[in-house]
Amino acid sequence: MVGPEWSQRGIEQRAGRYPLRVEAPILRAIELLVPGISSVTRYVRYYAFYAALGAHSVECGLDSAASLRLLRRGEVVLAGVSRLNDDPYGRPGMAHAVDEVRASLDGDVLHVGAAAEMDGDQAYSTRRSGSWDTYLGPSAVLGTAVNEDGAPRPGRHACPPEVAALFAPLWRESGADVLDGARLEALAPLAMQAPERPEVGWMRGLFTATRDGRHDPEEWGPDDRRRRATFRMLGRAVGLHGGDAAHGWEECVRSAVAFGHEAETDPVLRQVDNVLGWRGLLLRNYSVGAWRRLWAALVRSIGSQDGEADRSRDELRAWLADPMPATSLRACLDELPATMAGGHPAPAERQIMQDPDRRDPLVNVKLLLAGGRRAGELSGEARTTFLGAQHDILNPLWVSRLIGDFADRPMRDLAVRLVDDMLAQARRVALAKTHPDANGRMKVFSRVHERGGRYYKTGDEGDGDIGTRLHQAGDIAEQLGILEHRPDDETASLTPLGAELLEVGE
């Protein structure tokens, strides 16, 4: 019997992102609180580069194809100049695509044409719009450039003359297929670490929502005001806890906002919009990270579809149940660090994560339990952001209810339930994403599959924390002269200019 031929046979297995879908509340909150900055927008100079390119394209009447050709060549030259002039360990770092243009550098001669061609062996990027793909959304929100047919065009904030003048030599030289050392040396002012940065004044005003050094809320939109609030919070946190900068900008904010009383008692922080929303976001991210690490570790314990080390459900349950202490859940809760002190969040998650092995299943179960406790302790904006949409599966309120159900049962029983719910949620997410491709063949987006009552995997899962963009915001603030990082002792401080612009001084 010959079957129908309007679709291909079988199922195509693809890796899916966010297999438990626990990240959504964090991602939604970040999108709201850090507009104009993404996890991959690292350099202020690139915002200016695309703004200047948009203005130049309109001035010269370039269509989108010509603009994209100039964009690709310009990105190649920026990368080449940076590779020749910047310290790879300096702040800010080297430009995008510095590794990709290495093959196009012959000593101090850059083969621009070969690197810029999309289909060539030395192509620096296979994406038609190069790095513009990662900056176009943030640039549109910031108002420096918009996307039109894949190319930058002027945004609502006109590119100032000093920024246009900075990039004018780049447009002239990018037409050449080969740039020798002398011509590249003349373009050294464009390097990421060049001492003169004429774009900084303009960008500083946009990122901090100020004109002529002052902020008038009536002159700025909601995104601008929320972005300014985030920079104010960051600046004040660094002023209060700059010694924590050795662990990153986010650690300073955790010290000032997530834990302790300062978010509610400090005369500056308590006036910052959404500061308690940030508290909820940062605390929720501990639970999100714990779920991600637990799921990734469970998947690592599963073998491949070849039949080696595939696992039954009982074996997966034992994987998490066996490391649990031989006590009740209530006894385990009694041993957790306090989650509140004096009516404010205590750093319980920090204490739990002092364990040298962040992937230890017990460490991450304890983080989930701490989050379940906080579901009944936080209030107001912090609680709303912390819980997110309360119908989300595996959220802290769900863990809180599990605590009530399992309080007097062994920790092993809780572990079995966690494994069952992770497997069920991963299946729900995979089924929700399943759809036919253009040929009618079904695509399943999952790395874990069940066959005959046994589970196998097609790959491992990532277990990195979800970024809050505070790292990128801190680096941008440093490039803007708002924050100062001292590499000798790994501390940071708020500059006098930053304190004035952000109105976060004593």
| Boundary residue ending a domain (191, 226, 243) | 191
Residue 475 and residue 352 share a domain: no
Residue 307 confidence (pLDDT) above 70: no
DSSP 337-376: PPSEETTEE--HHHHHTTSS-TT-HHHHHHHHHHHHHHTT
* Residue 503, C-beta contacts closer than 8 angstroms, at least 6 positions apart: 215, 232, 268
Q: Is the residue at 205 inside a domain?
A: no
Mean pLDDT value across residues 2-26: 73
The verdict on residue 69 lying in a domain is yes
309 pLDDT higher than 90: no
Considering the domain architecture, whether residues 478 and 453 belong to the same structural domain is answered as no
pLDDT in tens, 401-439: 999 999 999 999 999 999 999 999 999 998 888 877 777
Q: 156 and 236 share a domain?
A: no
Quick one: 309 and 444 in the same domain? yes
The answer as to whether 6 is a domain residue is no
Q: What is residue 7's predicted lDDT score, i.e. its pLDDT?
A: 47
Q: Are strands 109-111 and 178-179 parallel, antiparallel or unpaired?
A: antiparallel
Residues 362, 340, single domain; the answer is yes
309 and 432 share a domain? yes
Q: What are phi and psi of 448, to 5 degrees?
A: -115, 130
Same domain? For 154 and 129 the reply is yes
Q: Please answer whether residues 139 and 146 qualify as being in contact, where contact means their C-beta atoms are separated by less than 8 angstroms.
A: yes
Token digits of residue 407: 């309080």
264 and 300 inside one domain: no
Answer yes or no: is pLDDT of 229 > 50.
Answer: yes
| 394: its two tokens | 């595996």
Q: What whole-number distance in Å separates Cα of residue 152 and Cα of residue 406?
A: 56
In a domain, 7, yes or no: no
Residues 338 and 446 in one domain: yes
Classify strands 340-341 and 483-486 as parallel, antiparallel or unpaired. unpaired
Give me the pLDDT at residue 246, please.
81
Contacts of 231 (CB under 8 A, 6+ apart): 207, 208, 473, 477, 482, 502
**Three-class DSSP labels, 125-153:** CCCCCCCHHHHHHHHHHHCCEEEECCEEE
Name the pLDDT band for 502 (thresholds 50, 70, 90). Answer: very high
Q: What is the pLDDT of residue 113?
A: 93
| E-assigned strand segments in 213-326 | 311-312
Report yes or no on 15 lying in a domain.
no
Q: What does the block give as tokens for 62?
A: 């370039």
Please state the rounded mean pLDDT for residues 458-485.
94
Cα dihedral: 36, 37, 41, 44 (round 10): 70
* Six token digits for residue 19: 């297999």
Percent of the chain with pLDDT over 90: 81
Is pLDDT above 60 for 457? Answer: yes
pLDDT for the residue 313: 95
Structural domain contains residue 258:
yes
Mean pLDDT score of the chain, rounded to an integer?
92
Domain count, the chain: 3
pTM of the shown model:
0.92
Q: Model confidence at 387, in pLDDT bands (50, 70, 90)?
A: very high
Q: Which domain holds residue 222?
A: 217-273+468-502
Query: Does one domain contain both 258 and 370?
Result: no
- Residue 298 located in a structural domain: yes
User: 320 and 245: one domain?
Assistant: no
107 occurs within a structural domain: yes
Q: How many CB atoms lie within 10 A of CB 415?
A: 24
Pair (341, 414) in one structural domain: yes
Mean pLDDT on 137-158: 96
Q: Answer yes or no: are the C-beta atoms of 504 and 252 closer than 8 Å.
A: no
What's the angle, vertex CA 127, arms to CA 122 and CA 130, rounded to 5? 85
Output the pLDDT for position 5: 56
